[in-house]
Structure 1
Amino acid sequence: MRNQKDVLEKVLDKIENNLKNDVNADSLSDDFSMSSVHLQRLFKQTFKQSIGAYIRSRKLSASIADLLYSNLNVQDIALEYGFSFEQAYILSFRRKFGFTPGELRRNRQLVKITPPLTPFAQTSMYKNHFLVGSIINDKYMDETYFGIIKSHFNAVTPENNLKPLLLTSNRGGAYNWTYADKIVNRTLENGIPVHGHVLVYHDMTPEWMTKGTKTEAEDNLKNYITDVITHYNGRINSWDVVNEAMRDNLTAAETSGDWKKCLRTDSSWHKALGANYVETAFRTAREAAPDVTLYYNDYGLEYPRKADAVCKMINDINNRYKNTTGQTRNLIEGLGIQSHYQIKYFDENQIRSSLKKFTALNIELSISELDVATAEHETGEGKDIVMSEHDAAVQAFIYARLFRLYREYAAYIKRVTMWGIDDYNSWLSAGNPCLFDRYLIPKKAFNAVFNPEKYCDIV
Structure 2
Amino acid sequence: MKTLCLQKHGLFQPLLIIVVLIFSSCVLTSQTNTAEVGDILYYEGFESTNSLQQNGTATIALSDVYAAAGDKSLSVEPVADNNWSGVALRNDSLATPMLPSGKYRLTAKILSPKNTTVGIRVETKDSFGMDTYGSVGSAKVNLVADQWVDVTMDFAVPADHQSVVAIVFHNDDQIPNLHFYLDEVKLLVTGLPLEPKPTPPQEIVFPQWDLSLPSLKDTYKDYFMIGNIISPYQMDLETTAMYKHHYNLVTAENDMKPQYFSPAKGIYLFENADWIIDWAEANDLKVHGHVLVWHSQSARWLNTGLDGKPLTRAEAKSNMEEYITNVAGHFRGKVISWDVVNEAFTDRAGIPTDWKEALRQDVPWYLAYENGADKSKGESGADYIYDAFVFARLTDPGATLFYNDYNETDSWKREAMAMMAEELNAKWKTDERNTEPDRLLIEALGMQAHYWTASLRVQDVEAAIKRFIEAGVKVGITELDIPYGSWTNQHSDPLTAEEERNQARLYAELFKIYKKYASHIDRVTFWGKADSQSWRAKGSPLLFNRAFGAKQSFYAVIDPEGFLSGN
Tell me the residue number matched to 2:334: 235
Aligned match for 2:246, one of 131, 137, 152: 152
* Secondary structure of the corresponding residue to residue 448 of structure 2: strand
Q: 2:555 aligns with which of 418, 423, 447?
A: 447
1:163 aligned residue: 257
Matched, 1:97 2:16: yes
TM-score normalized by the length of structure 1: 0.74
Instruction: After TM superposition, give the deviation of residue 378 of structure 1 in Å.
Output: 8.4
Q: Partner of 1:344 in structure 2? A: 454
Letter in 2 for 1:357: R
Counterpart AA for 2:416? A
Residue 426 (structure 2) pairs with residue 290 (structure 1): no
Work out which of the residue numbers 364, 385, 390 in structure 1 matches 2:498. Answer: 390
Partners of 1:158 and 1:166 in 2: CA distance: 12
Aligned length: 358
SS in 2 for 1:200: strand
Tell me the secondary structure at the aligned position of residue 372 of structure 1: coil
Partner Cα separation in structure 2 for residue 240 and residue 113 of structure 1 = 30
Q: Determine what percentage of the aligned residue pairs are the same residue.
A: 35
Which residue of structure 2 aligns with residue 197 of structure 1?
290
CA contact (8 A) 2:207 2:546 kept: no
Q: Tell me whether 1:108 sits opposite 2:204 in the alignment.
A: yes
* Cα offset, 1:323, TM superposition: 2.2
The secondary structure found in structure 2 opposite 1:307 is helix
Structure 2, unmatched stretches of 5+, are: 1-7, 10-14, 24-200, 305-310, 370-380
Structure 1 residue runs of 4 or more that deviate by more than 3 Å after TM superposition: 96-107, 377-380
Aligned equivalents of 2:552, 2:473: Cα separation in 1: 33
- The TM-score, its normalising length taken from structure 2, stands at 0.60
Please give the per-residue CA displacement for 1:425-453, whole angstroms capped at 9, x wherever unaligned.
21111111011111111111111111212
Q: In the aligned structure 1, how far is the partner of 2:562 from the partner of 2:336?
A: 35
Deviations 1:140-194 (A, max 9, x none): 32333333212111111111110000111112x2111111100111012100100
Are residues 354 and 424 of structure 1, via their aligned partners in 2, closer, same or farther at CA, if it must alter by over 3 Å? Answer: same
Q: Does 1:328 align with 2:438?
A: yes
Pair 1:372 & 2:482 matched: yes
Corresponding residue number in structure 2 for 1:75:
none
Letter aligned with residue 176 of structure 1: L
For 2:451, the aligned partner's letter is Y
Q: 1:281 aligns with which of 388, 393, 416?
A: 388
- 1:99/1:311 Cα in 2 relative to 1: closer, same or farther (>3 Å)? closer
Q: Structure 1 residues 160, 335: closer, same or farther in 2, change over 3 A?
A: same
Measured after TM superposition, the shift of residue 207 of structure 1 is: 1.4
Query: Match of 2:519, SS?
Result: coil
Return closer, same or farther for 1:191/1:348 CA change in 2, 3 Å cut-off.
same
Aligned to 1:16: none
1:215 aligns with 2:314: yes
Which residue of 346, 351, 357 corresponds with 1:247? 346
1:260 equivalent in alignment to 2:356 = yes
Q: Match of 1:86? A: none
Larger radius of gyration: 2
Partner residue of 2:534?
Answer: 426
Contact persistence 1:379–1:428 (CA under 8 A): no
Structure with more of its chain in strand, by fraction = 2
Unaligned regions of 5+ residues in structure 1, if any? 1-67, 70-95
Q: Which residue of 1 aligns with 2:281?
A: 188
Residues 98 and 133 of structure 1: CA distance in aligned 2, closer, same or farther (over 3 Å):
closer
Aligned to 1:402: 510
Cα distance change, pair 231–387 in 1 and its aligned pair in 2 (3 A): same
Preserved CA contact (<8 Å) 2:288 2:338: yes
Q: Is the contact between residue 110 and residue 438 of structure 1 (CA under 8 Å) also seen in structure 2?
A: no
